[in-house]
Structure 1
């Protein structure tokens, strides 16, 4: 059985600059392009956020930040239009431009 060590066996022959460039290259493979929303999708997203806020429903936001997508769950406590942020009851704040999706269900 052949057990190859991949890049590990070649690290001794590589320049440190080359190793650093390979690491950066692998990190960039995980980057995700920001989802683009058209006018209709933005309007729908805005309406869903307002409904969730008025109903005090727990929401799961799809967020894009620093070339990565993640999800945040909570209850919306406030909108700050001047700063362009949305706040959860637990104190977390998210900029409007990073939100690209919302799913919600009413809390009973």
Structure 2
């Protein structure tokens, strides 16, 4: 039984208007951080701060930078939240109630 010395992974970073997906081969046993470093994505997006602001995941599940990757894993770099989703939903719901109460003149 032979084992491959390299595995294929993807590293993804998305912005509101575009995304960057990089397919790379890394040595078997590589970590999430090593794959991100090898992808070159940090040079293209200097705003990424893996130690403080940005969280990472594999296939939509939060993970740590020292997680060992498997063949065909997709590493995702998440942008920091700028608003609390619960507060945004609450505000929208209250605005919706206000609109329903008004009625206003029909156009």
Q: What TM-score, normalized by structure 2, do the two folds share?
A: 0.26
Structure with greater contact order relative to length (CA < 8 Å, sep ≥ 6)? 2
Q: Hey, which of these two has a bigger chunk of helix by percent?
A: 1
**TM-score calculated relative to the size of structure 1:** 0.26
